[in-house]
């Protein structure tokens, strides 16, 4: 029987991916990009930024988006066909 927490990332992997993402996002992004979000996606990003601001944590929509992009890219590189990106794209194309 698989452990109850089988869907969670092992702590060592989690620490490694967080450090990889931290390093990537610390590097100044110089390439401009435009992304189109739904009203709900944009509102959620604004809410997250505001929530962190109230906690004294400085962040931005750009920083959160870069964290998400780096997470998806890292997951794809590590897991290929088992990545979240692969599964989401397959589901979108069904």
pLDDT digits (tens, 9 = 90+) for 33-85: 999 999 999 999 999 999 999 999 999 999 999 999 999 999 999 999 999 99
C-beta separation of 47 from 31 below 8 A:
no
| Count of domains forming the chain | 1
In a domain, 88, yes or no: yes
In a domain, 87, yes or no: yes
In a domain, 67, yes or no: yes
In a domain, 42, yes or no: no
* Confidence (pTM): 0.81
In a domain, 29, yes or no: no
Main-chain dihedrals φ then ψ at residue 91, nearest 5 degrees: -65, -40
**Mean per-residue pLDDT, 8-19:** 73
Question: Residue 8: is its pLDDT beyond 70?
Answer: no
User: Could you tell me the residue range of the domain that residue 74 belongs to?
Assistant: 61-94
Cα 92 to Cα 62: distance, rounded to the nearest angstrom = 25
**Cβ-based neighbour number of residue 69 at 10 Å:** 16
CA distances from 41 to 27, 31, 35, 48 (A): 25, 22, 11, 11
């Amino acid at each position: 029987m698989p452990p109850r927490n089988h869907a969670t990332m092992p702590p060592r992997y989690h620490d490694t991916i967080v450090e990889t993402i931290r390093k990537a996002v610390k590097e100044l992004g110089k390439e401009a990009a435009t992304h189109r979000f739904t009203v709900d996606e944009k509102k959620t990003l604004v809410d997250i930024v505001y929530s962190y601001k109230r906690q004294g944590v400085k962040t931005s929509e750009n920083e959160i988006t870069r964290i998400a992009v780096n997470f998806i890219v890292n997951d794809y590189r590590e897991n290929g066909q088992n990545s979240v990106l692969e599964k989401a794209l397959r589901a979108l194309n069904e």
